[in-house]
Amino acid sequence: MILKKTIKNSPESIVSLALTSETLTGRSGFLLAKAAQRVRDTYDEHLKTLNMNARHAGILTILEEKGSLAQNELGKCAYIDRTTIVALIDDLEKLGLVERQEHPTDRRSHVIYMTAKGKELMPQIGKKAKEVEKEYLGPLTASEQKSLIQLLRKLVFHHYSMPKETR
Amino acid sequence: MILKKTIKNSPESIVSLALTSETLTGRSGFLLAKAAQRVRDTYDEHLKTLNMNARHAGILTILEEKGSLAQNELGKCAYIDRTTIVALIDDLEKLGLVERQEHPTDRRSHVIYMTAKGKELMPQIGKKAKEVEKEYLGPLTASEQKSLIQLLRKLVFHHYSMPKETR
DNA sequence: TATTGTTATACTCTATAACTATA
DNA sequence: TATAGTTATAGAGTATAACAATA
């Protein structure tokens, strides 16, 4: 990536450059923050018509894949804190897409299961996710897309596999 | 990546699986969100001793690379909204690392320049950034790290090169 | 003692609306 | 009319502390 630089010689040392920092755009911290922000926007935009956001869709996707799960297991699957997931399940319950059930053996725990309405909606959610992925990853070739996913998976699995204290 | 699945046959259809969703971890939306969250935590942790966070360090890095910039140019460089960057510059000014100056030709504009104290601090910030990048990208080989950065750059450049309306 | 779900609370990051002063 | 900086404000996402119920 070659960036055009037009340096104006100014006594005030104000220079006019391409509005991009080579250093910053070489750091994963900056790139991941900006990439995540934009892909989330895209997800939210596409899911707005279903009255949900990317995290709601993610929870439903886990339930579809794994079947009913305890609320804490669902949180671990989504890498979402137990205090954070409460409101998300609340939202999905209000939409009539999931319901909390008593856990058969642990009375502290809630089992989250998908309602018929939720199951009916899954094809639409899957379709939206596919659209977003296609749109967002569009600038990359198919092979590059695959590479990116694999590299990110490797990173995420590694950093979420250890307890917070030893990170 | 092969995940071990231990499916318990339970009449309540509660299954015990590896707490990872194949579907979700195949989507850039999920992976980028989680990767960004963790790398930001790592940056913040390392920069805490300098009383700043990842975004402050990013702004200083841009100033070091490009010299003094108008506040709006700085925001564009960092992909940060003009209403958001105000407080960040305030913070850096309070730390005595940058100062707002009058723009020589446009009286609406502020030029942000680094103070001597700020310039002195840059080696430390650069060192911290290198440490974080090394630590965070550690699970990847050198070649993989390079690939990831290149792929993310391509994505970010593409998605931030067009105006918001046509995204 | 530890864990599950919950609430209250707070902090970070972001952006819209509206204002002022300029251009 | 448009732009630069600013403030007020609000929203999304996250997590800590503390509690009740239960293991």
Q: Is the dihedral of CA B113, B116, B121, B122 positive or negative?
A: positive
- How many other C-beta atoms lie within 10 A of the C-beta of residue B69? 24
pLDDT above 80 for A156? yes
- Report the pLDDT averaged over residues A106-121: 98
Q: Is the dihedral of CA B119, B121, B127, B131 positive or negative?
A: negative
pLDDT above 60 for A114? yes
Chain A interface, mutation test: which of B3, B23, B32, B114, most A Cβ atoms within 10 Å? B32
What is the rounded CA–CA span in Å between residue B103 and residue A128?
Answer: 47
Contact (Cβ atoms closer than 8 angstroms) between residue A82 and residue A109? no
pLDDT of A14: 32
> Residues 106 to 165 of A: which have CB under 8 A from any B CB?
111, 129, 132-133, 136-137, 139-140, 144, 147-149, 151-160
Give the closest residue to B149 by CA, choosing from B163, B162, B136, B161. Answer: B136
For B16-57, how does the pLDDT look when each residue is reduced to its tens digit (9 = 90+)? 347 899 999 999 999 999 999 999 999 999 999 999 999 999
Q: For B63 and C19, how far is CA from C1' in angstroms?
A: 29
The greatest distance separating any two alpha carbons of chain A, rounded to the nearest whole angstrom, comes to: 76
Give the closest residue to B133 by CA, choosing from B53, B50, B40. Answer: B40
pLDDT of B15: 37
Spacing of C-alpha A72 from chain mean position = 19
- The whole-chain average pLDDT of chain A stands at 89
The strand pairing partners of A110, in sequence order, are A102
What is the rounded CA–CA span in Å between residue A1 and residue A19?
Answer: 14
The greatest distance separating any two alpha carbons of chain B, rounded to the nearest whole angstrom, comes to: 76
Would you give the end-to-end CA distance of chain A in angstroms?
33
Dihedral pair phi/psi, residue B95, rounded to 5°: -80, -5
CATH code: domain B30-136 is: 1.10.10.10
CATH label, A24-136, candidates 1.10.150.120, 3.40.50.10950, 1.10.10.10, 1.10.530.10: 1.10.10.10
- How many other C-beta atoms lie within 10 A of the C-beta of residue A101? 15
pLDDT above 50 for B151? yes
Amino acid of residue B112: I
Strand B69-70, strand B98-102: pairing: unpaired
Structure tokens, B104: 């020589």
For B56-100, how does the pLDDT look when each residue is reduced to its tens digit (9 = 90+)? 999 999 999 999 999 999 999 999 999 999 999 999 999 999 999
Q: What is the DSSP string of A106-161?
A: -TT-EEEEE-HHHHHHHHHHHHHHHHHHHHHSTTS-HHHHHHHHHHHHHHHHHHHS
pLDDT of A163: 53
pLDDT of B2: 24
- Report the pLDDT averaged over residues A36-59: 97
The three-class DSSP label of residue A16 is coil
pLDDT of A25: 97
Which of the two residues, B65 and A10, has the higher pLDDT score? B65
Q: For B167 and D11, how far is CA from C1' in angstroms?
A: 21
Distance from CA of B74 to the nearest CA of A (A): 8
The three-class DSSP label of residue B101 is strand
The DSSP output letter for B8 is -
- Binning pLDDT at 50, 70 and 90, where does residue A104 land? very high
Do the Cβ atoms of A62 and B24 come within 8 Å? yes
pLDDT of B150: 98
